[in-house]
Amino acid sequence: DADVTQTPRNRITKTGKRIMLECSQTKGHDRMYWYRQDPGLGLRLIYYSFDVKDINKGEISDGYSVSRQAQAKFSLSLESAIPNQTALYFCATSPTGYGYTFGSGTRLTVV
């Protein structure tokens, strides 16, 4: 099994729909992150969490919310999806002070 698992891998949804992207990890790390990747814009941070009770906004949190259900699970929600949220979404985890382990990504298309 992968260290960081994201579901679904691909999703097409309609404008205005609520959608949840899920992430679980088996690394035992406290820190988890959600990034989106757009062509030419690199990886941009949406939200991050240091532990179950600690949630922090990233640089592009508007239109998104998160839930840290357990140390191993961190979900990202789009409450009312819009076309410019079409992107590749990555979940990542890390120990303190070290680099990230990324999930395989979720390709989201909002039509």
Partner 1 sequence: QKEVEQNSGPLSVPEGAIASLNCTYSDRGSQSFFWYRQYSGKSPELIMFIYSNGDKEDGRFTAQLNKASQYVSLLIRDSQPSDSATYLCAVKANTNAGKSTFGDGTTLTVKP
Least Å distance between CB 97 and partner 1?
4
Per CB under 8 A, the list member of 87, 90, 93, 108 interacting with partner 1 is 90
Contact 40, 60 (CB under 8 A): no
Q: Which of 28, 29, 46, 16 shows the shortest CA–CA distance to 106?
A: 46
Residue span 30-69 as binding mask against partner 1, x where in contact by CB under 8 A, dash where not? -x-x-x----xxxxxx--x-x-----x-x-----------
DSSP string, 11-73: EEE-TT--EEEEEEESS--SEEEEEEEETTTEEEEEEEEEETTEEEE-TT-TTEEEEEEETTE
Per CB under 8 A, the list member of 25, 103, 108, 110 interacting with partner 1 is 103
- Our finding on whether 96 is near partner 1 (CB under 8 A) is yes
- Our finding on whether 84 is near partner 1 (CB under 8 A) is no
Per CB under 8 A, the list member of 24, 66, 105, 110 interacting with partner 1 is 105
Quick one: CA dihedral 42, 101, 28, 3, positive or negative? Answer: positive
The footprint of partner 1 (CB under 8 A) covers 31, 33, 35, 40-45, 48, 50, 56, 58, 90, 96-105
